[in-house]
Amino acid sequence: MKHRFLKLLAILPVLLLVVSLSACSDDDGNGPSQTDFEVVLAAVQDWLGTSPAAAIAPSTVYSDIQANANVADRTYFVLSVRATADYDLGHIDGAINIPWRDVAQTASTAQLPTDKAIVVYCYTGHTGGLARGALGIMGFDTENLKWGMMNWADDTQPGGVAPWTTDQALGVETAVHTLTTTYELPDLEVSASSDADEIVRAAARRWLEDTTWTPIITASALNALLIDGDTANDPVIISIRSATDYAAGHVPGAVNLALADLTDVDTLELLDPDADIVIYCYTGHTGGQATAILNMLGYRAKNMKYGMMDWNVSYIGTPTPFAGAPDYPTVATPN
């Protein structure tokens, strides 16, 4: 009896270890279970690990079209995420059309290649940036056409858009702001599936298809919130410009983070998941990536349209502001 008791004591730690491992395994016994947030965060980290560029120049895409009359032979697969009516009026040769809110639907992703880069374009580069970010996190090789159709076709062409122009000079400050309060990470529950790809797709659909709001805000609208005397409606403002350009002048109240910081749990815990967050960069392109990342993770983030270029171009930093479209041709959908 004594020997039996001693033998039981000897194997007890092993039994406890087995029970512990079983408790943290998934239903299929394939390893530790993960929350939807952890699954999406891993996908975000994988995407940023590819060092995605903020945008691709239209000249690169146009050269590809000129060199390859056959669409199948081209390096880039072109995706218009504009409204179908505008696509029909005029679009880049060879482009297919999926409005930006629909890009995460199963029927939409089935139309996209997995063996070549997808160039996403919208009107000005902003909803294109959001769609590109969502698709990139979903595992597609994506690029965002710099400034969208505005930078492809003159606005007098069918399907073109009026170019950016402004003489707005909203106030900036140089005071450094930091985030100090910590919060629980978003309770992201988007899918009953245990398949990582499906969880990421569901996370994309959750915010892309929410038509009650838009993840873009103009500089004027943000400024109106800041000067209305009601601090309760002020969003958290994140500048993702360089530390040097932030120090030279930034939107009042903004904190400075790098794009890579948005994959760091310690940084994410400084963001209130219930607060409105406004992100801005130089021109809106990197801001679109950052906005897609935070929305995928369950935050409510908006990209400031045209970035610092539209807030106060004197403080844009190193990039060059929009200077006019090369006026490449478009094609219309046959009646």
Could you write out the DSSP letters of every residue in 175-219? --B------PPP-----S---HHHHHHHHHHHHHT-TT--SEE-H
Q: Phi/psi of residue 184, each to 5°? A: -70, 145
Hey, is 157 helix, strand or coil?
A: coil
Note the pLDDT of residue 157.
76
Of 178, 212, 183, 213, which is closest to residue 303 (Cα–Cα)?
213
Note the pLDDT of residue 31.
52
Note the pLDDT of residue 181.
98
Q: What is the DSSP letter of 232?
A: G
Q: Phi/psi of residue 304, each to 5°? A: -75, 120
Note the pLDDT of residue 17.
41
Hey, is 239 helix, strand or coil?
A: strand
The neighbour count for residue 318, using CB atoms within 10 Å, is 9
- What distance lies between CA 224 and its chain's CA centroid? 25
Check the CA dihedral 220-226-230-235 and report its sign: positive
Q: Phi/psi of residue 277, each to 5°? A: -120, 130
Residue pair 87/330 in contact (Cβ under 8 Å)? The answer is no
Note the pLDDT of residue 8.
41
Note the pLDDT of residue 158.
77
Note the pLDDT of residue 23.
43
Residue pair 256/248 in contact (Cβ under 8 Å)? The answer is no
192-236 pLDDT, tens digit per residue, is 999 999 999 999 999 999 999 899 999 999 999 999 999 999 999
- Give the integer Cα–Cα distance in Å for 293 and 313: 26
Q: What is the DSSP letter of 71?
A: G
Hey, is 8 helix, strand or coil?
A: helix
131-183 pLDDT, tens digit per residue, is 999 999 999 999 999 999 999 988 777 777 888 999 999 999 999 999 999 99
Hey, is 236 helix, strand or coil?
A: strand
Residue 163, both tokens = 């170019």
Residue 249, both tokens = 């002048």
Residue 119, both tokens = 């160039």
The neighbour count for residue 5, using CB atoms within 10 Å, is 9
Note the pLDDT of residue 161.
80
Alpha helices for 242-306 (secondary structure H) = 243-248, 265-268, 285-296
Mean pLDDT per 10-residue interval, the chain, length 335 residues:
44 43 44 87 97 96 98 97 95 97 98 97 96 98 97 82 91 98 97 96 98 96 97 97 97 97 97 98 97 98 98 94 91 85
- Give the integer Cα–Cα distance in Å for 53 and 49: 11
Residue 149, both tokens = 């159709």
Superfamily grouping for domain 208-315: Rhodanese-like domain (3.40.250.10)
Hey, is 78 helix, strand or coil?
A: strand
Q: What is the DSSP letter of 104?
A: T
